Structures are given as C-alpha cells and as structure tokens.
Amino acid sequence: MTLAHELDRYLSVRRSLGYDLGTAERALRRFVQYADEQGVNHITTDLFLGWQGAFGNARRSTWGARFIMVRLFSQWLHGLDTTHEVLPRGLVPYRYCRTHPYIFTPAEIVAIIEEAAQLPSIYGMRGLTCSTLFGLIAVTGMRINEALSLDADDVDLDTGIVHIRCGKLGKERLLPVHETAVDQLRAYVAQRDRLLGRASVPFFVKCDGSRLGDCGARYNFAHVCQRIGLREPQTKGRHGRGPRIHDLRHSFAARTMIDWYRSGKDPAREMIKLTTWLGHANPDHTYWYIEAVPELLDLASARITDPHDREICS
C-alpha cells in the first residue's frame, strides 16, 4: 500500500481514540507528498532528513514537533511492516518549551473582531464568519478546532448553551454563553443562512457553504493581526510571527484568573471550575497561567504575602 493510504488509516485509527491531529495531519501529508515525489514508499532516516532539508528553515522546536509526528507514524508503520524504519530518538534534539502566551487587551480583541468583519469575499461570508469565530473564542476560551467542529445543532440559541462534542482526547462539555454573545451568534446564523439560501449544518462556513478549516482560520487571523499592527506585514500570504489565534484562549483564561484575584475570590476554589470550562485534563495545566503571565504571578505573590488574604483563604 502507498504511504498516503497508510496515513489515512493511521489518522483514522488515532482520531477514533479521541486525538484531534489537525496540525499533525498537515505535516504528515507534506512528508508523504515528499516521499511520493522521491519515489519512496518506506520511511527511513534518510528520507526524513531529506524532507527536512527540502522543507525550509524553521525553529528547532517546530522541527522537534514535526519529528515526533513522523516518528510516531514510523512506529505504527513498523508494527505493520518491518521494512519501515523507526526514526531514532534524538535525531532532532530539542527541549519542549511552551510558547509564552500573548494576552490581548480588551481593546485589541475589539479591534480584531472589527477588522475581521471587513475581510473581503464575494458574498461577505468570510468577514461574517471570521469575526464571529474570533469573538466566540475570545469570550469562551474554547480551542480553535473545538469551535470549527461545531455544527448548527451544537449551538442552542434558546438556552445559550454550546455543546462541544469534539474536545481534546474526545471529551465533551457544555459551555453556557452570555446573552450578549448569544445575540451575536443569532445574528450570524440569520445572516449566514440568508447568504447561503438554506440552513447550514456546519456552524462556521466559507462562502461555498463548506466548513471553515483550521488553515483558513489561522491565515485570516494572522492577516487581521497584520492589518491592525499586531504582526509585521508580510508578502505572498505569509503569516509572519506574532500573536496567535490560540492566544485568544490564553487571554480568556488569564483575564478570568486576574478577575478572581482583584475581586478577592479564592483561586484554589475557582480553579477547578476553570479547568472544567477549558477542558483541561487536570488543574496543573490551568495553574500554568500563573507562571506564564507576569500580572497573574504578581497578584498570586501578593495574595501569598498579604496576611489578611491568607487569613481569608484559610
């Protein structure tokens, strides 16, 4: 069988276990395409190194992540056919380090939504969809792929509940949305279905009515950030470097925690709520924000050193 066929099977099996694999699929398909161009149908170390050399420059952490994706694929293939080589550990040395989050100000979020609404397209769907998508992520903190996976039935405009069926590792959860956000979602649905001439099954769509994809969402977000000065202008459709769409989620989490400290709430009691809301596997992943966001670290430190606050929390 071809590598492309084996990749389809591999992705299908892992997704059945609850993995999202959006980024991994893009990288692996490019790797398989390179192998096909080379006339190679079995994974080897030389094949990976050749792909790395032909791919272009990227950060060490980026190549470390790509290496892990291909290595996992090679392990799976080796289990089926030992002529596939398992890529050796340490071939691309790197140490995983979580990207420092960019915390948007409320004014920046408003600017992103307003600029996204101006994105041009034949029927106006691009601006309508992107502005609503970015706004929903900003006020709920959901992951980009969770939002893109939503179907119309997952958004109950009567009760204001968003049902996330495709969370990380297959976990589901319900998110109640504020009535002001529900009003925006209701307006989007009405305008979307008017432009399409029919009710839509996917919630967030492109002009042709198909579901907006991960690549399109990230490109449009990068383009908007360039337009408002949060990223350097680029040529040939490049994204450049700067705040990411995932930072809307980080900003939601950080602002929520900052509000706890400023209003005198006990973070230890509130943390489990936020962990559940964000769909984290455990609270440790949520506590990370305290270390990653300087303002949160200052507030947490002040709470620990303030005897009055210690007395309240005890």
The series of mean pLDDT values per 10 residues for the chain, 314 residues long, is: 89 75 88 94 94 83 88 91 92 72 94 97 95 97 94 96 83 92 97 96 96 94 96 85 93 88 82 84 70 70 56 41
pLDDT of residue 303: 64
Calpha distance 205→208 (Å, rounded): 8
Query: 172-177, long-range: CB within 8 Å, 24+ apart, which pairs?
Result: 173/276, 173/277, 173/279, 175/140, 175/142, 175/277, 177/136, 177/139, 177/140
Q: How many CB atoms lie within 10 A of CB 250?
A: 22
Amino acid at 236: K
Q: Where are the alpha helices (DSSP H) in 81-156?
A: 106-116, 125-140, 144-148
- The pTM (predicted TM-score) of the whole model is 0.70
Q: How far apart are CA 143 and CA 216, in angstroms?
A: 15
In whole angstroms, what is the distance from residue 14 CA to residue 5 CA?
A: 15
* The pLDDT of residue 194: 96
